[in-house]
């Protein structure tokens, strides 16, 4: 069964450093998403991406964040200058359609900012 | 703004003891309600999608139902492997963004 994959599973970085989190969505899916979950809190939407551009972004997704689909399979989230409060699990998701289709989530990347 | 509230926050059951989890939602126009299971340190795993009031879906020991204001996840004769956090979520009108509830942490003791 196709699944969303994410790398790395755990990333440790120093405050102020740039990180890139990588995702491979399900191959025939057209819509891609990033969510985050701070420890003990609920899953929060960051951004959605379709046709090589951002469809929607939350107030969390400020200028420090960017997304890219560098090739036909990868989808990345970049945090330019990490802060302590960026420490969280980051989940990539994908769906075939946007309006009512199911979003399938990857296993997550645990980002720890020291 | 869409709101999703789940109750209880935590639930402990004995193996075989059936129960229900609740998800109440406030949305401008329901475009589906999703149930996910999340194990510690893992991503949400899709369980069900419900689109209209009165709809029911079943999978093994789980059954999800939907009314105009809430959804229930019924767990029949649970086993320890059903222990997880159960999340519900609703999409915004554009379908781009899922709003999640806080989840119900279920523990099933043998």
Question: What's residue B98's pLDDT?
Answer: 93
Q: What does the pLDDT read at residue B95?
A: 75
In this complex, is the C-beta atom of A3 within 8 Å of any C-beta atom belonging to chain B? no
Q: What is the pLDDT of residue A72?
A: 80
What's the rounded Cα separation, in Å, for the pair A73 and A25?
A: 7
Cα separations in angstroms, A100 against B14, B41, B95: 36, 27, 6
Cα distance between the two ends of chain B? 41
Q: Which residue of A lies nearest to B42 if distances are taken between CA atoms? A: A107
Tell me the CATH number at A105.
2.60.40.10
Write down the mean pLDDT value for chain A. 94
Looking up tokens 């409060």 gives: A85
How far B48 CA sits from the closest chain A CA (Å)?
Answer: 9
pLDDT at res. A84: 97
State percent of chain A over pLDDT 90: 89
CA closest to A104 among chain B residues: B46
pLDDT in tens, B94-103: 778 999 999 9
- Mean pLDDT of the A57-61 span: 95
Chain A interface includes B94 (CB < 8 A) = yes
Compute the mean pLDDT over every residue in chain B, rounded to the nearest whole number. 94
Confidence (pLDDT) at B19? 98
**Nearest CA distance, B14 vs chain A (angstrom):** 24
Mean predicted confidence (pLDDT) in A15-37:
96
pLDDT digits (tens, 9 = 90+) for B85-94: 999 999 988 7
Q: CA dist A1 to A4, A26, B8, B64, Å?
A: 10, 10, 33, 23
Chain B contacts of A35, Cβ < 8 Å?
A: 98
Which among B43, B95, B99 has CB closest to A100?
B95
| Average pLDDT of the segment spanning A13-34 | 96
Closest C-alpha among A57, A46, A61, A58 to residue A92: A46
Are B43 and A108 inside 8 Å of each other by CB?
A: yes
Q: Does A112 touch chain B (CB under 8 A)?
A: no
Q: Does B49 touch chain A (CB under 8 A)?
A: yes
CB contact under 8 A, B100 and A43: yes
pLDDT at residue A100, as a whole number: 67
Considering its fold, how many domains does chain A have in total? Answer: 1
Using a CB-CB cut-off of 8 Å, the residues of chain B touching A33 are 96, 98
Q: Domain B3-92+99-109 carries which CATH code?
A: 2.60.40.10
pLDDT at A99: 62
Residues of chain B with pLDDT under 50: none
Residues near B63 by beta carbon (within 8 Å), at least 6 away in sequence? B56, B57, B73, B74, B76
Question: What's the domain range around A53?
Answer: 5-113
How many contacts, defined by CB atoms under 8 Å, are there between A and B? 67
pLDDT one-digit tens code per residue, A76-87: 999 999 999 999
């Amino acid at each position: 069964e196709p699944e969303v994959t994410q790398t790395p599973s755990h990333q440790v970085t120093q405050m102020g450093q740039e990180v890139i989190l990588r995702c491979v969505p399900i191959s025939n899916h057209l819509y891609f998403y990033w969510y985050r979950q701070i420890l003990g809190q609920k899953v929060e939407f960051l951004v959605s991406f379709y046709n090589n551009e951002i469809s929607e972004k939350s107030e969390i997704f400020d200028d420090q964040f960017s997304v890219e689909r560098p090739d036909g399979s990868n989808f990345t989230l970049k945090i330019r200058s990490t802060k302590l409060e960026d420490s969280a699990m980051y989940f990539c998701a994908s769906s075939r359609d946007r309006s009512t289709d199911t979003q399938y989530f990857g296993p997550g990347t645990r980002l720890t900012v020291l | 703004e869409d709101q999703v509230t789940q109750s209880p926050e935590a639930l402990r059951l004995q193996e075989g003891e059936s129960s229900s989890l609740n998800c109440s939602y406030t949305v401008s126009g329901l475009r589906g309600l999703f149930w996910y299971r999340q194990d510690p340190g893992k991503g949400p795993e899709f369980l069900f999608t419900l689109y209209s009031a009165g709809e029911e879906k079943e999978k093994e020991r789980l059954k999800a139902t939907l009314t105009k204001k809430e959804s229930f996840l019924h767990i029949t004769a649970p086993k320890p492997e059903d222990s997880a956090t159960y999340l519900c979520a609703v999409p915004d009108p554009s379908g781009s963004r899922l709003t999640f509830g806080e989840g119900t942490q279920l523990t099933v003791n043998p």
